[in-house]
Structures are given as C-alpha cells and as structure tokens.
Amino acid sequence: MNCPYCNKSLEKAPSRKTGCPYCHNFIYVRTDPKNKERGWVTEEQKDKIDEEWDLIAGIRETYSASQNRFNEIKERLHEQFGKEPSDNDVKWVIYNGECLEYLSKAQWGLYRNARFGMAELLRSELKLYTALELYFEVFYLDVNGACNVGLDQNGNSLSGFPPFSLDCAFVAPFITSIIKQIIKKEKITPQKSKEIFMSRISAMSNFPCPLDVNKTWELLEKHIYY
C-alpha cells in the first residue's frame, strides 16, 4: 500500500495508527461507513470518517428510542383496548402527545408538523372529512408563519422572536392540492367548505396569529377555487 500523504510505497500495510517512514505523518486505519471497506487514511480523513460513524450511531440511537416508545404505547393500548391496536392507533397517540408538548413550549412549527401527520393518518384511512379539518389547521398555521420560539420558566420567548410572523408565512401547494382533492371527492360545496373552515379555525382563536379567520379564508379560497 501507499502512504495517503506522500503516496510512497510502504513495505507493510499498517494495522493501526502508524507514522510514515518517509513524510513522518501519522497514518490511520478506518472503515468507510459508505462502502464498509477498510483503508488507510490521513488524520483529516480519519476525523471525517469518525464524524460520519458518530452520526450513524446517533441516528440508530434515536431510531431505537423511537421504536421503544412505539412498542410501549402499543402495549399500553393493547391493555386498554383488549386487542392489538393498529400502527395508526399508536401513531395517533404519539402525534397527540407531541401536540400537547409543542403547545406547552410554543413550538408552533413542530406543532404544525404533528397536526399534518395526524391529517395524513386520517387521509390514509379515508376519513377525509375529519382529515380536511386538520389540513385547514395546517394551512392556517402556514400562512400565519408558525415559528418554534420556545418558552422559559416565566413563559417568555427563548428566541426573542414572536410565535407567529408573516415574514415566515408561506402557502404549501401540496396542502392546497390535498384540500382541493378532498373537497372534490366529498362533493363539499364552497359554502360548506367555508363553514367547516370557520368552525375549525375559530376554535384556534386563542393562538397569537396575525391573520384572523376571515383573512385566512380569503387567502385559501383564492388557492382552491380560483
């Protein structure tokens, strides 16, 4: 093999950290996480590979913790229902718990993502009417610029930014497209759509959003009917 620094041929391939007899730099032995091939690398390459392995370990640890939580909730629901719950039942409980947590911490962007996850679960089960209500919520949070500010012990913003900001607002075409599809499939009239929207969003009137329910409906209406 050759030295990864000076490229001079070495008599023996090192099995551990070894100094090159020519350039005197340390050669390291590492396994590449991408192709699982073991090779001889520079110190800079070694640091990068170690970082990649640390990232993989972190992802595995997070996945393992998430899977353990999933299994614990599934077992609890089994005892509660007296039968094996579906994976969607478990996911719903997880999302619901996340919503409560994010609300208490003013993590509005994460709250939005959890509500979107719940809407997707309902849509996968063809519970379209209820799913539509949640997609309305997601749209409302998006166009009001939901932010993850976090709160300190006194209930003040940790980031110093407002919980909602129109500078962060956007319209997600994916969301408006799903809303249009459900309205068409369920044959919901424009008037009924507005009633559903107003009823659902009025229940969120305590959220510190810059746009009121009427302004938000006018914006949504342009995207789904015109």
pLDDT per residue as tens, the chain (226 positions): 788 888 888 888 877 888 888 888 888 888 888 888 888 888 888 888 888 877 766 666 656 767 888 888 888 888 888 888 998 999 999 899 999 999 888 899 999 999 999 999 999 999 999 999 999 999 999 999 999 887 666 666 666 778 899 999 999 999 999 999 999 999 999 999 999 999 999 989 889 999 999 999 999 999 998 7
Give residue 146's domain range: 126-225
Q: What value, to the nearest 5°, has the Cα angle with vertex 32 and ends 27 and 38?
A: 60
Dist. CA 46–CA 51, nearest whole Å: 9
- List, as own/partner pairs, every contact residues 40-48 make where C-beta atoms lie below 8 angstroms and the sequence separation is at least 24, other chains included: 40/1, 40/3, 40/4, 40/13, 40/14, 41/4, 42/4, 42/5, 45/4
Q: Which of 68, 86, 107 is the last residue of a domain?
A: 68
Q: Which of 68, 89, 118 is the last residue of a domain?
A: 68
The pLDDT of residue 61: 66
Domain annotation covers residue 187 = yes
- The CA–CA distances, whole Å, from 191 to 79, 188, 217 equal 44, 8, 11
Domain annotation covers residue 88 = no
Domain annotation covers residue 136 = yes
Dist. CA 215–CA 222, nearest whole Å: 11
Q: Which of 38, 53, 68 is the last residue of a domain?
A: 68
Dist. CA 143–CA 219, nearest whole Å: 9
The pLDDT of residue 181: 95
Domain annotation covers residue 82 = no
Asked if 105 contacts 150 with a C-beta cutoff of 8 angstroms, the reply is yes
Dist. CA 30–CA 44, nearest whole Å: 12
Considering the domain architecture, whether residues 219 and 152 belong to the same structural domain is answered as: yes
What does the block give as tokens for 170? Answer: 């956007």
Domain annotation covers residue 102 = no
Domain annotation covers residue 1 = yes
Considering the domain architecture, whether residues 136 and 206 belong to the same structural domain is answered as: yes
Dist. CA 212–CA 201, nearest whole Å: 9
Predicted TM-score (pTM) above 0.95: no
Number of independent structural domains in the chain: 2
The pLDDT of residue 1: 78
The pLDDT of residue 130: 96
The pLDDT of residue 166: 93
Domain annotation covers residue 104 = no
Considering the domain architecture, whether residues 47 and 135 belong to the same structural domain is answered as: no
Considering the domain architecture, whether residues 148 and 59 belong to the same structural domain is answered as: no
Domain annotation covers residue 55 = yes
